[in-house]
Structure 1
Amino acid sequence: MFSKHLKWVLLFVLALIWGSSFILIKRGLVGLNPYQLGSLRIIFATLFLLIIGFKSIATIPHGKWKYIALTAFIGTFMPVYLFAIAETEISSSITAVLNSLTPLGALVIGLLAFGLQVQRQQLFGVIIGLIGSILLIANGAANNPEQNYWYALLVIFAAFCYSLNVNLIKKYLSDVKPLAITAGNFIVVLVPALIVLFSTDFGKVIDQEEVQTAMLYIVVLGVIGTGVANIIYFNLIQMSSPIFAASVTYMIPIVAFFWGILDNELFSPMQYVGAVIIFVGIYMSAKKN
């Protein structure tokens, strides 16, 4: 009975953490540029994961490191910068909704590249999700001319990266411990992140108060939003199932909505309709007859 209640508690905690990551990015961008933010997020997450997962790295077979490196750049390195760049132009809540397209992307990539068996209902779900995305972006661009909604394509591409990453891990790294995969991913991208960070003249602005304040948000984002969240996610999978754990996808945008409202981000009625259509598409693509 305790385990049954605990899995729901962990699910809500995970949704709260990941749903809050988009507002943390927005706050971090007040003092940092997107490249500094993405680099610091990787660096802080790597330091934390080395502390709690260093021993697990030794369990990665030598032949698997090429896949660790591939998933590191596709599923970690590129998305952190894409999200940060996108939020310089579009709101955090819109970003969260578009990020929820990840399961749809995983379904399409699995079908086209990995021979995944897909039902007609799931294909309808993908089409519905895409319609909702178009409605969300088009209406947002019309009602917010000061925002460049072409940047929404960066979020969609980041979601595509996550989708491809899920399929790659399932095909090539299913026999490697999740904590080892995560720690290995961040070790691979640590040096590139450091190179990007110090190519931005970060050393010249680090003593500025707004930069230091922004870094505090990114410490929380890297340690809690990445490190702790992954630990909770892995425990959730072990005590329940991957399907139950993946249901957090439906809850993340809800948390992001509330943060957006508190931060005076406004949705038009048609954008709410677009968001609901996206969620319907995700539900249909995830459900099996």
Structure 2
Amino acid sequence: MQKKATSKWLYLLVLSLIWGTSFILIKKALIGLNAYQLGALRTLITGLFLFAAGYKKIRFIKKEQWKWIALSGFVGSFIPAFFFAIAETEIDSAVVSVLNSLVPLNTVLLGAAVFKIASTTRQVIGVVIGFIGTSILILEGADLNPNQNYWYAGFVIASTVMYAVNVNVIKRYLQDVKPLAIAVGNYVVIFIPALIVLFLTEFFTAENFNNPDIAKSIGYVTILAFFGTALAKVLFNTLVQISTPVFASSVTYIMPIVALIWGLLDGESFSWTQGLGTLVILFGVYLANRKAKKIRSV
């Protein structure tokens, strides 16, 4: 039991470092690629890594489980890959990372509304506080960066809802499926749609292959796909299975810290008011996830 408890915290820390770095990699990749090319390439390259590592694992997925594998693939990987890239065309990577910390709050909300997991008063208060912090972050960001379109924050918020759906689906319907099998199955489903999107973006043109910015961006996407998606996907699926959906989604506690450091090093602006909004969000997430203390009998 102690070993399992230690393992889940180790997974949480490693995932936070990997995913916290993902936001700056997306920003750098957007220099030579548009958001749709980035999302499609990220999905395709990740799929190739996963197929090479575990294509034999898909035989362990039962026929009746494929619908949940497909749902998990689209809401947990495919759509967010595009939405995060679209958001970062207008919003700083550090702000996007903070907004992503809404995942645990949405996990609580969806767990109660869709998966019939009871919510406590404390969790509801935590959700409210979290959204107050989100409002502070977005409004201050709009004032601080008037040239950025903060309506694009909606793409991040929508992605956090989809991630929350994915966490609950894995925990409830895919608990007995190996993490690598889930990841490979996800990309079996979404690989062809991603390839179609890439063709529609006219990526395969001669001028693109002679563009040094595109070559460099593909390098960033490859790093992002291997560490930020393929490896992290397997680690996250494992974390969900050895812990709880809410604990697993709490990876977003540490991610913003890592992403903020990268953003500031890259010259992004971040005000004290935005810092306050970040703390409010994280406090709301903490409150929503904190277990109630057991009352000892006398």
TM-score computed with the length of structure 1 as normaliser = 0.94
Determine if the alignment matches structure 1 residue 254 to structure 2 residue 257.
yes
Matches within 5 A, 1:113-192: 113-192=114-193
Q: What residue in structure 1 maps to residue 243 of structure 2?
A: 241
Identity %: 48
SS in 2 for 1:147: coil
The letter for the 1-side match of 2:14 is V
What is the deviation of 1:134? Answer: 0.6
Task: Give the letter for the 1:117 counterpart.
Answer: A
Show the 5 A alignment for 1:17-28: 17-28=18-29
Q: 1:254 to 1:144 in 2, by over 3 A?
A: same
Structure 1 position 218 matched with structure 2 position 188: no
Aligned residues: 288
Cα distance, 1:3 vs structure 2: 8.3
Mapped to 1, the partners of 2:250 and 2:68 lie a distance apart of: 26
Unaligned stretches of 5+ in structure 1?
A: none
Q: Which amino acid aligns with 1:100?
A: S
Kindly tell me: are residues 13 and 271 of structure 1, through their superposed partners in 2, closer, same or farther at Cα, counting changes over 3 Å? Answer: same
Give distance in 2, aligned partners of 1:61 and 1:105: 29
- Distance in 1 between the 2:3 and 2:179 partners? 24
Corresponding position of 2:79: 78
| Equivalent in 206, 209, 218 of residue 206 of structure 1 | 209
Q: Which moved more, 1:9-18 or 1:27-36?
A: 9-18
Match of 2:270 among 243, 267, 270: 267
Which letter does structure 1 place at the counterpart of 2:140? N
Which is worse superposed, 86-95 or 197-206?
Answer: 197-206
Partner in structure 2 of residue 47 of structure 1: 48
- CA distance in 1 between counterparts of 2:224 and 2:126 reads 31
* C-alpha displacement of 1:57: 0.6
Name the structure 1 match of 2:111.
Answer: 110
Partner Cα distance (1:283, 1:180) in 2: 31
Q: Are the aligned partners of 2:127 and 2:288 in contact in 1 as well (CA < 8 Å)?
A: yes
Describe the shift of the 1:139–1:234 C-alpha distance in structure 2 as closer, same or farther (beyond 3 A): same
Give unpaired runs (5+ residues) of structure 2: 293-298
**One-letter amino acid matched to 1:74:** V
Change (3 A) 1:245 1:91: same
Cα distance change of structure 1 residues 106 and 186 upon mapping to structure 2, 3 Å threshold: same
3-state SS in 2 of match to 1:100: helix
Cα distance in 1 for residues equivalent to 2:9 and 2:134: 29
**AA of the residue aligned to 1:200:** T
* 1:284 and 2:274 aligned: no
Q: Which residue of 1 aligns with 2:91?
A: 90
- More moved, 104-113 vs 147-156: 104-113
Q: Secondary structure at the match of 1:54?
A: helix
In structure 2, how many angstroms separate the alpha carbons of the residues matched to 1:13 and 1:193?
27
Separation (CA, whole Å) in 2 of partners of 1:95 and 1:150? 12
1:212-252 Cα offsets, whole Å, 9 max, x none, are 100000000001111122344455567x6346654422111
Cα RMSD for the two superposed structures: 1.9
Deviations 1:145-199 (A, max 9, x none): 1000000011000111111122222232222222111110111100000000011
Q: Which residue of 2 aligns with 1:227?
A: 230
Per-residue CA deviations over 1:235-281 (Å, capped at 9, x if unaligned) read 5567x634665442211110000000100111111110000000000
1:101 counterpart SS class = helix
Distance between the aligned counterparts of 1:4 and 1:135, measured in 2? 35
Q: Which amino acid aligns with 1:286?
A: N
Q: CA deviation at 1:9?
A: 5.1
State the alpha-carbon separation in 1 of the partners of residues 74 and 156 from structure 2: 16
Greater mean deviation of Cα atoms: 183-192 or 163-172: 163-172
The C-alpha deviation readout for 1:91-136, integer Å capped at 9, x for no partner, is 0010000011011011111111121111110110000000000110
